[in-house]
Amino acid sequence: QVQLQESGPGLVKPSQTLSLTCTVSGGSITTSSYYWNWIRQSPGKGLEWMGAIGIEGTDYYKTSLVSRTSISRDTSKNQFSLQLSSVTTEDTAVYYCAGSRGIDGNKRNRRDYYDYWGQGTQVTVAS
Please report, in tens digits, the pLDDT of each residue of the chain (127 residues total): 999 999 999 999 999 999 999 999 999 998 778 999 999 999 999 999 999 999 889 999 999 999 999 999 999 999 999 999 999 999 999 999 999 999 998 899 999 999 999 999 999 999 9
Position 33 scores a pLDDT of 87
CB 80 within 8 A of CB 29: yes
